[in-house]
């Protein structure tokens, strides 16, 4: 059967994009082929516009999500939007004893396709996902609780960027070794020894993606595409509260694979029944040779210690710190921090938690500010940013689960509340839980405060921790990163010396550092092709998105050599 | 203090070599800067000649091997040459509570040096080792039991090649991301967002090299240099019976590091007292973040399951198979196999063990040969190859430890002996134990034979296993690789179809395949810059020497970003 999507068509559509991605990974300059603006989508661009996206999402509701997978032994699903309604979608429940062998059977043809063809098929999958960005936006919004604009951008183009980045790295890694080589070793006066060598990238086995609730696509695409592009089938086990965005991804992948002449079972969904906990069983199966996981430290550590048959890539919890030493743009700093604390109600693994401020205050372009002033000015900045309910709702989104709400409530008993969290009514979704951030004052000199700032409090809770000095702040930063891990570190200083000390601390403890952000770039955001997300070198994550280490061990190179 | 070895000097000496190595890794053509011929060394080449090498080795005997390491709490050593004499050398015994912190203190300056400087320092270390190749040859010979010529080549230039290869990969991996980048993201009519970004390769921590008895330098250099070149200090824990070659390596590294202005404690030795078993303790210390290991499957599996704080790279045991289907060069095949079985008395992780031969015989250019004929012709070929004692000794070397001898003796009870092992007197070292290979006939149809051919029998023991057909041979090959692992697979066939089936089996099971070797290339030998040693994808090893995966996770990239 001739595939409807030929290799030549794929190359024509995507080879330039792949080349530009490869080039950008080397330059680390700004680039993205995926537009951020909602109005950049529509029929004239070959994609769904806003109305079509909403309609596509609505059509998926209250129905079975068919995938045509082998081994489907029932239907399951119970997603409830953080905006207050049931999605009503059920997904195929899989019998792994049927599904996994079917996935394995798909390997040889996919392996034979080679790195370029696989990359181009992956780019076609991403292009189809990109064309449905407006539909994905609603799916991400109503599973993660992100506000619409963020769901569209972070769940759409930014996630697609991260997927493309992984494909490009995978392609580059597999093509470092040529497909064929001739080897001729001189033997003095005798004839040289001559061999013809063939090098084939072979996949490890089935890759398991364990999705998360807050960023199902953004955190899911890198592992999914890195594994698929290196030849591995991918079984997608979404978070039970955020199935839809990954189910849509799986459906798109299956469609494209079939059209390109490959077995659609190279990508499959493993939705689970309530409380079933299938991740643990799947993770230990011998067929599973790669695992990508985003979620709690507890389960991430369990995977690393128990799924020894697999390469395990984890992003777990961390405690992100901002060291505030001094600034020449006090307003800019406050505004930037207020935004970082508020975006998606602080439900990002990259949101700052501990703000370390010298108790003697800091020097600024607006004069010396005491610790109390800095904290109250920051509280005021957050208040101002979120003063208008409509704007606040667009920035905060909804609280993803009741545990986050409980943490906000518990925070007020941890210390003096500098900024209380308030509930914001949602104009469109009255049942949504929308909460503003809480800021609590703590003191590094009080031993009892350490429990709070020495553990992750996921959600819109931050601690303004008074420290004796900037040096003490940096010392605390070091131990926090070493013991709790950190996805991000921020620093504000006008002193070259302090800057060096901060940088040294981050180099020693392996954490990503953003200095003096006062404008439209925020510590909790990273850009694909340029920034690394996490370092992979502290307890918050054992891998970074995306670098060579993230892709290099997803395949092995088999050599076949013969006398020439 | 100005280093006596400046960056400019290092660049002038070694930058071209590094560039050629990088280029060769991409082309996989033949290249080596390290000469194989013993006469290529001498004063006119800036290296020790044969006499000087022997003299250098002799001077080291019956003495303390001083390294000037901190935390030395005693002296230990008890190496006995497989050629029958005590080396009489004692090495510093280290207190890890003193030594490890000193090694960690060396990190910041080495990290700051950057990838190029580190690579060039590593190349200088390799060049000094190369100049002492004749001394290393004796050290390797009298710890591993390799014959002199093999000790010189495999322990010298080939090991240096593998070290250089690791340095080149490490350099390439660290420089995939630029040191600095400017990032400018358009914002429509507003000013673009602009950031300056700095990317620094930071080491994981202290790297532990657990050396092996048979190839202390060849198997040790890749991990040692990959870790050092990526910024990690390296603690070398040699096999207690093969300390000297790695102690010489450590001494050379410490000298070069000091001359280049770095802390010599970046490389240190951890020799152990008899029966002390320090590898287990060191492997679990939190300071140890990388482990390179070559040795038994038992300890390798233990490391993988327990040293979870570290990246663990293992080369363990495997069962190497040759599938004999047919050949158009019967003599060539027999000669090639006879050599492979005899070289270093089969004490290579790459030596073939199971020879699978259809019980109905095979087609050859010399007519059809029955199973019995193939086996007896192979036995005759080995006999002929080793008929002359002087030549035999130069090929076989000495038996590395009594367990290998016991295995040879036990083999005769496993089945019909097609070729008995004989003891060969060594003209120069009367106390050396030199043994020729034993070949035992087994039958895949006899269930009781499986125990023998389904486990590794390290040493000069091979099994000629009768199988029903080539298809059965390939099926057995598959299960053997899947369950026992394999460093090498060989095949002889004139059929394109069988060739494809063999290749498919090796691609599915992730094993390195050599087809129809009948000349001067042997299945148990791989060439750096071109061949991969092991695949890292079957139970014999979790890493290959050397590929991107071997270096990519030895460092992480830390980013520091600031508004431009």
Query: What domains are there in chain B, each with its CATH number?
Result: 46-176+200-317+544-563 (3.40.605.10), 321-515 (3.40.309.10)
Enumerate the residues of chain A whose CB falls inside 8 A of the CB of residue B187. 520
What string of pLDDT tens digits covers the 564 residues of chain A? Answer: 578 899 999 999 999 999 999 999 999 999 999 999 999 999 999 999 999 999 999 999 999 999 999 999 999 999 999 999 999 999 999 999 999 999 999 999 999 999 999 999 999 999 999 999 999 999 999 999 999 999 999 999 999 999 999 999 999 999 999 999 999 999 999 999 999 999 999 999 999 999 999 999 999 999 999 999 999 999 999 999 999 999 999 999 999 999 999 999 999 999 998 789 999 999 999 999 999 999 999 999 999 999 999 999 999 989 999 999 999 999 999 999 999 999 999 999 999 999 999 999 999 999 999 999 999 999 999 999 999 999 999 999 999 999 999 999 999 999 999 999 999 999 999 999 999 999 999 999 999 999 999 999 999 999 999 999 999 999 999 999 999 999 999 999 999 999 999 999 999 999 999 999 999 999 999 999 999 999 999 999 999 999 999 999 999 999 999 999
Of the candidates B200, B535, B547, the beta carbon closest to that of A507 is on B200
What is the C-alpha separation between A518 and A334, in angstroms, rounded? 8
Helix (H) or strand (E) run with residue B515 in it:
strand B513-515
Query: Shortest CA distance to A77 belongs to which of A62, A89, A94, A95?
Result: A89
**β-pairing verdict for A489-492 and A321-324:** parallel
Smallest CA–CA distance, residue A308 to chain B, in Å, is 7
Enumerate the residues of chain B whose CB falls inside 8 A of the CB of residue A168. none
Smallest CA–CA distance, residue B191 to chain A, in Å, is 10
Q: Is A450 on the interface with B (CB under 8 A)?
A: no
CB distance B234 to B262 below 8 Å = no
Of the candidates A26, A304, A544, the beta carbon closest to that of B556 is on A544
CB distance B363 to B494 below 8 Å = yes
Torsion of CA B469, B474, B475, B476, to 10 degrees: 90
Contact check, Cβ <8 Å, B181/A28: yes
Q: Is B556 on the interface with A (CB under 8 A)?
A: yes
Enumerate the residues of chain A whose CB falls inside 8 A of the CB of residue B185. 30, 527
Output the six-digit token pair for B199: 């990317």
Contact check, Cβ <8 Å, B532/A200: no
Enumerate the residues of chain A whose CB falls inside 8 A of the CB of residue B527. 183, 185
pLDDT tens digits for range B347-363: 999 999 999 999 999 99
For A147, B211, B267, B268, B475, the CA distances from B242, given in Å and listed in that order, are 64, 8, 18, 16, 38
Residue of chain A with shortest Cα separation from B520: A193
B541 dihedral zone (left: phi>0; alpha: psi -120 to 50; beta): beta
Work out the burial of residue A73: count CB atoms within 10 Å of its CB; fewer than 13 is exposed, 13-18 middle, 19 or more buried.
exposed
Of the candidates B305, B530, B547, the beta carbon closest to that of A181 is on B530
Q: Is B187 on the interface with A (CB under 8 A)?
A: yes
Task: Kindly give the residue spans of alpha helices, DSSP state H, lying in B414-467.
Answer: 450-453
Q: Is B559 on the interface with A (CB under 8 A)?
A: yes
Q: Is A179 on the interface with B (CB under 8 A)?
A: no
* Residue A1 confidence (pLDDT): 57
What is the C-alpha separation between A46 and A32, in angstroms, rounded? 18
The mean predicted confidence, pLDDT, of chain B is 97
pLDDT tens digits for range A70-116: 999 999 999 999 999 999 999 999 999 999 999 999 999 999 999 99
Contact check, Cβ <8 Å, B513/A559: yes
- Contacts of range B508-511, beta carbons closer than 8 Å, 24 or more positions apart: B508/A107, B508/A108, B508/A202, B508/B478, B509/B477, B509/B478, B509/B481, B509/B482, B509/B538, B510/A202, B510/A556, B510/A558, B510/B481, B510/B535, B510/B536, B510/B537, B510/B538, B511/A558, B511/B481, B511/B486, B511/B535, B511/B537, B511/B538
Smallest CA–CA distance, residue A507 to chain B, in Å, is 6
DSSP string, A504-529: HHHHHHT--EEE---SS--TT---TT
Output the six-digit token pair for A343: 């975006």
Of the candidates B107, B556, B563, the beta carbon closest to that of A516 is on B563
Smallest CA–CA distance, residue B318 to chain A, in Å, is 16
Enumerate the residues of chain A whose CB falls inside 8 A of the CB of residue B111. 507
Q: Could you tell me the pLDDT band of residue B274, with boundaries at 50, 70 and 90?
A: confident
β-bridge partners, B198: B180, B560
**β-pairing verdict for B438-443 and B416-419:** antiparallel
Contact check, Cβ <8 Å, A556/B544: yes
CB distance A47 to A41 below 8 Å = yes
Helix (H) or strand (E) run with residue A18 in it:
helix A7-27
In this prediction, residues B201-217 reach a mean pLDDT of: 97
A202 dihedral zone (left: phi>0; alpha: psi -120 to 50; beta): beta
Of the candidates B27, B108, B183, the beta carbon closest to that of A181 is on B27
Output the six-digit token pair for B95: 């207190």
Q: Is B175 on the interface with A (CB under 8 A)?
A: no
Tokens 């994808």: give the residue.
Answer: B537
What is the C-alpha separation between A527 and A164, in angstroms, rounded? 12
Enumerate the residues of chain B whose CB falls inside 8 A of the CB of residue A506. 558, 560
Of the candidates B195, B537, B552, the beta carbon closest to that of A556 is on B537
* Residue B275 confidence (pLDDT): 85
- Angle between helices A133-144 and A148-155 in degrees, nearest 10: 120
Residue of chain A with shortest Cα separation from B304: A308
User: Buried b vs exposed e over B381-418: b needs ≥16 C-beta within 10 Å?
Assistant: bbeebbeeeeebbebbbbbbbeebbebbeebeebbeeb
Q: How does DSSP classify residue B266?
A: G
Contact check, Cβ <8 Å, A559/B197: no
What is the C-alpha separation between A475 and B42, in angstroms, rounded? 54
What is the C-alpha separation between B396 and B83, in angstroms, rounded? 12
Enumerate the residues of chain A whose CB falls inside 8 A of the CB of residue B521. 193, 195, 561, 563
DSSP string, A350-402: TS--EEEEETT-EEETTEEE-HHHHHHHHHHHHHHHT-SHHHHHHHH---SSH
Tokens 């930037």: give the residue.
Answer: A336
Residue of chain A with shortest Cα separation from B25: A177
Give me the sign of the Cα torsion angle B516, B518, B523, B529: negative
Is the predicted pLDDT of residue B1 greater than 60, yes or no?
no
Smallest CA–CA distance, residue B53 to chain A, in Å, is 24
Q: Is A45 on the interface with B (CB under 8 A)?
A: no
Choose, out of B196, B305, B556, B562, the residue to mutate when testing the contact with A (most A CBs < 10 Å): B556
CB distance A409 to A422 below 8 Å = no
In this prediction, residues B100-129 reach a mean pLDDT of: 98
Q: Is A286 on the interface with B (CB under 8 A)?
A: no
Of the candidates A521, A537, A548, the beta carbon closest to that of B193 is on A521
What is the C-alpha separation between B361 and B356, in angstroms, rounded? 11
What is the C-alpha separation between B122 and B126, in angstroms, rounded? 6
Output the six-digit token pair for B54: 């022997």
Contact check, Cβ <8 Å, B530/A197: yes
In this prediction, residues B206-233 reach a mean pLDDT of: 98
Enumerate the residues of chain B whose CB falls inside 8 A of the CB of residue A308. 304-305
């Amino acid at each position: 059967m001739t595939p409807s999507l030929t290799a030549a068509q794929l190359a024509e559509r995507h080879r330039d994009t792949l080349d530009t991605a490869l080039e950008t990974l080397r330059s680390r300059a700004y680039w993205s082929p995926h537009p951020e603006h909602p109005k950049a989508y529509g029929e004239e661009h070959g994609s769904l516009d806003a109305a079509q996206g909403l309609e596509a999402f609505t059509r998926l509701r209250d129905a079975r999500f068919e995938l045509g997978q082998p081994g489907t032994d029932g239907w399951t699903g119970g997603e409830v939007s953080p905006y207050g309604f049931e999605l009503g979608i059920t997904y195929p429940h899989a019998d792994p004893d049927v599904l996994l062998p079917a996935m394995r059977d798909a390997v040889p043809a996919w392996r034979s396709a080679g790195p370029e063809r696989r990359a181009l098929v992956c780019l076609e999958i991403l292009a189809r996902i990109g064309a449905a960005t407006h539909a994905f936006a609603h799916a991400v919004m109503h599973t993660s609780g992100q506000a619409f604009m963020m769901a569209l951008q972070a769940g759409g183009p930014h996630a697609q960027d991260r997927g493309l980045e992984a494909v490009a790295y995978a392609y580059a890694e597999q093509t470092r070794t040529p497909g064929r080589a001739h080897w001729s070793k001189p033997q003095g006066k005798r004839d040289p020894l001559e061999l013809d060598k063939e090098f084939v990238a072979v996949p490890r086995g089935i890759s398991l993606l364990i999705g998360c609730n807050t960023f199902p696509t953004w955190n899911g695409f890198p592992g999914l595409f890195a594994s698929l592009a290196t030849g591995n089938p991918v079984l997608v086990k979404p978070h039970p509260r955020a199935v839809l965005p990954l189910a849509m991804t799986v459906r798109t992948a299956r469609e494209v694979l079939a059209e390109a002449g490959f077995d659609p079972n190279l990508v499959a969904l493993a939705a689970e029944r309530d409380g079933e906990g299938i991740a643990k069983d799947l993770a230990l199966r011998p067929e599973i040779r790669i695992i990508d996981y985003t979620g709690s430290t507890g389960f991430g550590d369990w995977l690393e210690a128990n799924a020894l048959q697999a390469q395990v890539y984890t992003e777990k919890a961390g405690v992100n710190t901002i060291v505030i030493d001094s600034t020449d743009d006090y307003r800019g700093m406050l505004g930037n921090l207020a935004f970082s604390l508020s975006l998606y109600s602080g439900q990002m693994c990259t949101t700052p938690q501990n703000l370390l401020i010298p108790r003697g205050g800091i020097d600024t372009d607006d004069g010396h500010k005491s610790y109390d002033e800095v904290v109250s000015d920051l509280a005021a900045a957050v208040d101002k940013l979120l003063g208008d309910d409509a704007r606040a709702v667009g920035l905060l989104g909804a609280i993803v689960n009741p545990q986050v709400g409980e943490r906000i409530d518990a925070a007020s008993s941890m210390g003096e509340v500098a900024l209380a969290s308030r509930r914001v009514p949602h104009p469109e979704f009255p049942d949504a839980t929308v909460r503003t951030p809480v800021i609590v004052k703590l003191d590094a000199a009080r031993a009892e405060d350490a429990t709070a700032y020495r553990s992750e409090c996921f959600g819109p809770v931050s601690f303004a921790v008074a420290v004796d000095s900037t040096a003490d702040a940096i010392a605390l930063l070091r131990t926090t990163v070493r013991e709790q891990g950190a996805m991000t570190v921020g620093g504000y200083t006008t002193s070259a010396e302090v800057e060096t000390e901060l940088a040294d601390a981050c180099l020693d403890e392996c954490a990503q550092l953003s200095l003096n952000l006062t404008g439209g770039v925020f510590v909790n955001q990273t850009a694909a092709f340029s920034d690394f997300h996490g370092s992979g070198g502290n307890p918050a994550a054992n891998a970074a998105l995306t670098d060579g280490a993230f892709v290099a061990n997803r395949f092995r190179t088999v050599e076949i050599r013969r006398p020439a």
